[in-house]
């Protein structure tokens, strides 16, 4: 978080008043003005193929956050344009370095087995570049709520139908959520100029991102539920 007046002084009022993405080889910077708290939110992302170092801590979550310095990030963006270099120069000396992983290379084959299921990040963790991971988890929860509600309203019997309901949940949610993992990784490759088709053509890859984003935003959740209930009714009958 950088004081907004400091950001305005450094990059100008126009750039400091808009959400900006500064793309480049192997890295990118996102800047978001937050007028309500008079600050600029700055995030720097770096593609690094080296193994994430082991770090012993009292909880698992801390292993994915390591100390870093402003010098590290300044060196990464040394060949970027003046605005990106200026933004990272505003960051404090001591920083946190967060690991970002996804499940693209090791997807689970199903989200349900018997009476156990996975949802949200445990089923389809993605990078944050689509801004869709939390939304996908909410969609999972919606489908689960619907199938379990059907079971709760059925008359009691020896066969509760839980395994069938969870199998339907997995079937309905799998393709879309796995697409999100793939598409989010693809967006990282666009931002870091690694995509062979678009390369550094910002206009073209911007259009690609827009189309992918609308696939998330314009999703027919009502239709998803209708499909879910139809599949469940068929299984239970």
Same domain, 44 and 127: no
Domain membership of residue 198 (yes or no) is yes
C-alpha 27/C-alpha 166 separation (Å) is: 40
Same domain, 123 and 222: yes
Chain centroid to CA 227? 26
Q: How many domains does the chain have?
A: 2
Domain membership of residue 103 (yes or no) is no
C-alpha 72/C-alpha 82 separation (Å) is: 17
Specify whether the CB–CB gap between 169 and 159 falls below 8 A: no
Domain membership of residue 166 (yes or no) is yes
Same domain, 76 and 125: no
Q: How does pLDDT run across 154-176, given as a tens digit for each residue? A: 765 545 799 999 999 999 999 99
Q: How does pLDDT run across 8-34, given as a tens digit for each residue? A: 999 999 999 999 999 999 999 999 999
Q: How does pLDDT run across 94-134, given as a tens digit for each residue? A: 999 999 989 999 999 999 999 999 999 999 999 999 989 99
User: φ and ψ at 87, to 5 degrees?
Assistant: -60, -50
Left, alpha or beta for 101 (phi > 0: left; psi -120 to 50: alpha)?
A: beta
Same domain, 14 and 121: no
Would the pTM count as exceeding 0.85?
Answer: yes
Domain that holds residue 39: 2-98
Same domain, 200 and 232: yes
Domain membership of residue 221 (yes or no) is yes
Same domain, 68 and 125: no
């Amino acid at each position: 978080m950088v004081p907004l007046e400091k950001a305005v002084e450094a990059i100008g009022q126009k750039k400091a008043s808009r959400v900006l993405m500064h793309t480049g080889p192997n890295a990118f910077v996102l800047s978001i003005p937050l007028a309500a708290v008079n600050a600029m939110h700055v995030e720097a992302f770096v593609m690094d193929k080296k193994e994430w170092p082991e770090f012993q801590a009292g909880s698992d979550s801390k292993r994915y956050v390591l100390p870093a310095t402003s010098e590290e990030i300044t060196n990464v963006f040394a060949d970027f344009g003046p605005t990106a270099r200026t933004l990272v120069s505003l960051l404090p000396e001591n920083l946190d370095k967060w690991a970002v992983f996804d499940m693209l290379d090791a997807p689970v084959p199903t989200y349900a087995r018997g009476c156990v299921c996975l949802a949200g990040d445990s089923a389809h963790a993605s990078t944050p570049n689509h801004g869709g991971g939390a939304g996908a988890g909410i969609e999972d929860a919606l489908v689960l709520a619907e199938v379990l509600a059907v079971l709760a309203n059925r008359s009691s019997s020896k066969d509760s139908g839980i395994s069938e309901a969870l199998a339907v949940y997995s079937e309905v949610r799998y393709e879309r959520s796995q697409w999100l993992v793939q598409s989010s990784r693809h967006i990282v490759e666009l931002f870091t100029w690694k995509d062979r088709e678009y390369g550094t053509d910002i206009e073209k890859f911007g259009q690609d991102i827009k189309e992918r984003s609308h696939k998330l935003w314009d999703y027919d959740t009502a239709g998803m539920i209708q499909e879910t209930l139809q599949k469940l009714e068929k299984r239970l009958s």
